[in-house]
Structure 1
C-alpha cells in the first residue's frame, strides 16, 4: 500500500469517525432539548389546571355559602326592577286584547361576613329573576276606552331565576369580595401541594418539587419549606386572576431533580448511543492498528529480504570465486591452495546453513514445534563454552571478553545447545554493534533463588525507542539501505523465546553511544 493511499485512508476513516461522534452528540443534544421542551409544556399545562382548580373551588365555595344564606328564612331581600317590557296586541278574530309584560327583577341581600371569614360586617349578594305575565281581556269588557282596571278573563304568570346572569353577577361579587383578601386565608400550602402533586403526576412528572405563591414579587406564607426562586429553572403562572389577569398573585414551582429526571427519560438511548460509538471507536482503532502493523510488517519483511539477500550474496560470491579458482589448472595442482579454497567453500556454506537454521528455528518456535529438552547444567559452563565461539573474532578485532562469575550457585534446568546459542547471540550482537574494538564484560550473581547473567558492552548503544522493539521478530535498527551490520533481526527474537521457555526473563538497558547491558534472570535448581 502506497504511503499516500495509506495516509488518505487513515484521514477518511478519522473524518468518518469524527462525523459519527458529532452526529451522536447532536442526537443526544436534540433529545435533551426535546425532553426539556416537553417537560416545560407538561409543567405549564399542570400549573394552568391547578390555577383554574384553585379559583373554581373558591368560587364554588363562595357561591354555595352565599346561596345557603339567601335561602334562609331570615334573609330579607331588597327587590328592585331593573327593566320592564310591556307589549299590547289585538286578536280581532276572538275580539280580545292581549297584554304581555316581562320584568327583570334584582334581589339584593346583605349576608353577614362571619360566614365567609372576611373581616367585614356584611357582604352584598344579588341575583336576577325574570317575571313574565300575560293578561287577556275581552274587548267588550274593556269598552271603547280600553280601561285596564277591569279584571282580565285569563292571566298567565311565569317566575324564574336567570342562572347565567346570576352566575356572572356572583363571579363579579366573588372577585370584588376577595380582591384584597390575604392569600394564606384563601388557600393553604397543603391544598396547593396536593393539587400540584396530583396534576403533575397526571402529566407524567412524578418527581419532587418545591412551590410558592408570590404577591408582587414578595413571598407569601403559602409555600413549601425549601423553595428558592431561581428564574432560570422556575415555572410560574398567575392565580386568582380571573379573566382580566389583573391579580398580582403568581404560583411558582421548581424541581431540584429536574436534570436527573430529563436524562432518565433518554438514558437508554444515550447508553446505546455511547456503547455503539465506543464499538465504532474500538473497531476503528483496531483497524488503524492492524493497518499500521501490516504496513510495519511489510516494511520489516522487505528489509529482512534485503538483509537475507545481502547475507547470502557474499558467501555465494565467495563460493563461486573459490570454485573458479579451483578450476584453474595451476591452482588444482597446488594441494595447499585447493584445501584453502575448499575450507572457504565449507565455511561459507556453513554460514548460509546457520542463517537458514535461524529462520527455521524461529518458525518452529512460533508454531510451538521446537522440542526443547532440558537437563541440569551449570550456567558458568555454558558461558565459558559460548565465549569460545566468539573469542577468535574478538581477538582479531583487538578486543576482549572478561568474565566476573561471582554467583556461588549456577545450576539451572536448561537445554545446553539452545541456551549456549542464546549467550552466543548476545555476544555476537555486542561485537556487531561495536565500531571500535569490542569490550565485553560478563557478570553473574545470585539473587534469592535466581541467578542473574549480565552481558555488558561498550558499543554503540541504542535509543529508548529501539530498546522497546529489539526483541521483536525481524526488527533491526533502521539505517536505511546500508548493510554495515550483518544480520536479519531474528537473533534477539530467538533469544527472548528461548529464555521465556526456560521460565526466565530478559531485559536491556542502554544509552546511545555508551553501550548496552543485557540481563537474563533464571531460576536456580537445588
Structure 2
C-alpha cells in the first residue's frame, strides 16, 4: 500500500507539472509568433515607406533640375496617331497628338564622366469621334470617357520615360546613398512603436547575394538565424535588390514579460505542489520508520522485561519451597536477586522516561563548574567491573590543559558511561578502549576509541536517533533499546556542545564530545 500510494502521488505530480509546463511553453510560443507577426508587419511598412519616399525624392530631383536648367540638351517633335474602330456600333475614334521630347542630362555624383538622360514629354492632343452612317463620315466631339482613355495613353508614355530613368538610377546608385542610416533607423523605430514594440534593435541591410552594405547599426554584426528579414529595395521589374535584417537583443525578456504574471503564478503553484508532495512523502516515510522503530522497541523491551520477570518468578517459587524457606542464607540471596532484577527494570523504565522528559524540556539541568577529568574518572570507575569481567583494558590519555566547564555532573557522567558501555557492547572478545582528552581556546574535547565491530556510513547517520539500533526485529545478541546514544546527544546539546562519531566496519569507532569551556 505504501509503495502504491507513493507511485500514484508521483505519477500525479509528474502529470500536473507536465501539463503546467506544456501550457507555459504554448503561451511562450504564442507570444513569439505574435511578436514575429508584429515585426514582419512593421518591416513591410518600412519597405513600403522607403520605396515610396525614394521614388518621390527622385521625381522631385528631376523636376527641380529640369526647371533650373530651362533648356534641353536635345529636343525633337514626334507625331502620334491612335485609332480605335468599334465594328459593332460602326464608330471610329481617332487620337492624334504632337509630342515634344526634350532630353536633359542629369549629372551623377557616383560615376566618373557619366550622366543620366531624362526625357520630358509635352504636347497637344486632338480627339475625334467618327460615326459611319450609310457611307458618310459624321464627326463629333470626343466623349469624356474616350478623352480620358487617350489621356491615359499619353500619361503612360510619360511614365515609361520616368520608369526607365528611375531604373538606371537604382542600378547605379549605392544603397547607402539612396537612404541614410539615420532615416532608416527612424523609420524602423516609428513603425515598431506603432505596434507597441519599444525595444532596442539592431539592423543591417544585405544585398541579394548576401553581402553586407554600409547600412547597419554601427559595428554590430547581425545574427541572421535570430533576426527578422524583409526585402526593402526593388528594381524596375519588381525583383528584390536588398534585404533588411533586424534583431532584438532583449527579445526574450520582452516576450517573457508579457506573460510574467501567469508564468510566476504557475511556477509558484508548481513549487507548492512539489513542497506538499515532498512533505507528504517525508511524513509517510517518517511514520513508516517510526512504526518499524516502535515495533522493534516493543520487541526489545518485551524481551528485556521478560528475563527479569522470569528470574523474579523463579526466585519467588524457590522461596516458597519448604526446604529453602527455612534456609535464611538462600532466602536472602533470592530476595537480593529479586531486588536486583526489580532495580534493572526500574532503570530501563527510567531511561525511557528520561528521554521523553528531555525532549519535552521537562528536565531542568542545573549547571555548576565541574572538572571533566574527574567526570571521566568517575565514569570509568562505574564501568571498570564490566571491563574486568570481559578481560578488557581501558587506557586514558589526558592531554587537556583547561578542564573546567559549566555543566551537570550527574548527566555528564551518564554521557561518558553510556559511550563506554556502547564500546563494550559492540566489542568482540577482549575489549580495548582508549580515552583521550584535549582542550582548545573554546572547547574541552574528549574522545573515546574502541576496536569493536564498527558501523557503516548509513548507520552513522542514524546512530543518535531515538530507539535506533542496527539490528532489526527481535534480535537480542546485543542488549539495549537504542536510547543510550540518543540520551548522549540530548545532554550534550543541552550543554551547547556537539557529539559525532567516526567509524569503519570491522575496525572500530571513535566518539568525540566537544563541550564549551567556562
- Give yes or no for TM over 0.5: yes
Aligned to 1:124: 119
Q: CA deviation at 1:224?
A: 4.3
Query: Which of 451, 463, 477 is 2:456 aligned to?
Result: 463
Query: Which of 446, 452, 458 is 2:445 aligned to?
Result: 452
Question: Alpha carbons of 1:260 and 1:176: their partners in 2 closer, same or farther (altered >3 Å)?
Answer: farther
Q: Does the 8 A contact of 2:83 with 2:92 survive in 1?
A: no
Q: CA deviation at 1:490?
A: 1.0
Please show how residues 111-510 of structure 1 align to structure 2 within 5 Å: 111-114=103-106, 120=115, 122-126=117-121, 169-181=157-169, 182-184=172-174, 185-205=177-197, 206-226=199-219, 228=221, 231-241=224-234, 244-245=237-238, 247-255=239-247, 257=249, 258-510=251-503
Q: CA deviation at 1:164?
A: 5.8
Q: CA deviation at 1:250?
A: 1.9
Q: CA deviation at 1:283?
A: 3.0
Q: Does the 8 A contact of 1:461 with 1:515 survive in 2?
A: yes
Rounded to whole Å, the distance in 2 between the matches of 1:15 and 1:106 is 90
1:13 aligns with 2:9: yes
Range moving further from structure 2, 34-43 or 400-409: 400-409
Query: Which of 489, 512, 516 is 1:519 aligned to?
Result: 512
Q: Does the 8 A contact of 2:82 with 2:95 survive in 1?
A: yes
Rounded to whole Å, the distance in 2 between the matches of 1:326 and 1:523 is 54
Q: CA deviation at 1:169?
A: 4.8
Rounded to whole Å, the distance in 1 between the matches of 2:31 and 2:382 is 79
Q: Does the 8 A contact of 1:128 with 1:166 survive in 2?
A: no
Q: Does the 8 A contact of 1:104 with 1:128 survive in 2?
A: no
Rounded to whole Å, the distance in 2 between the matches of 1:390 and 1:128 is 133
Question: Alpha carbons of 1:29 and 1:127: their partners in 2 closer, same or farther (altered >3 Å)?
Answer: farther
Rounded to whole Å, the distance in 1 between the matches of 2:191 and 2:385 is 98
Q: Does the 8 A contact of 1:307 with 1:488 survive in 2?
A: yes
TM-score by length of 2: 0.82
Q: Does the 8 A contact of 1:59 with 1:174 survive in 2?
A: no
Q: CA deviation at 1:423?
A: 1.8
1:83 aligns with 2:75: no
Rounded to whole Å, the distance in 2 between the matches of 1:187 and 1:395 is 105
Question: Alpha carbons of 1:293 and 1:253: their partners in 2 closer, same or farther (altered >3 Å)?
Answer: same
Q: CA deviation at 1:486?
A: 1.0
Rounded to whole Å, the distance in 1 between the matches of 2:288 and 2:49 is 74
Question: Alpha carbons of 1:54 and 1:517: their partners in 2 closer, same or farther (altered >3 Å)?
Answer: closer
Structure of greater Rg? 1
Question: Alpha carbons of 1:170 and 1:405: their partners in 2 closer, same or farther (altered >3 Å)?
Answer: same
The one-character-per-residue Cα deviations of 1:273-316 (angstroms, maximum 9, x if unpaired) are: 44443333333333322222222122111111111111111111
Q: For structure 2, which runs of at least 5 residues remain unmatched after alignment?
A: none
Rounded to whole Å, the distance in 1 between the matches of 2:474 and 2:416 is 28
1:45 aligns with 2:41: yes
Q: CA deviation at 1:411?
A: 2.9
Question: Alpha carbons of 1:164 and 1:189: their partners in 2 closer, same or farther (altered >3 Å)?
Answer: farther
Range moving further from structure 2, 501-510 or 73-82: 73-82
Q: Does the 8 A contact of 2:229 with 2:243 survive in 1?
A: yes
Rounded to whole Å, the distance in 2 between the matches of 1:225 and 1:498 is 72
Rounded to whole Å, the distance in 2 between the matches of 1:110 and 1:331 is 155
Rounded to whole Å, the distance in 2 between the matches of 1:273 and 1:207 is 29
Q: Does the 8 A contact of 1:216 with 1:248 survive in 2?
A: no
Question: Alpha carbons of 1:189 and 1:126: their partners in 2 closer, same or farther (altered >3 Å)?
Answer: farther
Aligned length: 498
Q: Does the 8 A contact of 1:59 with 1:171 survive in 2?
A: no
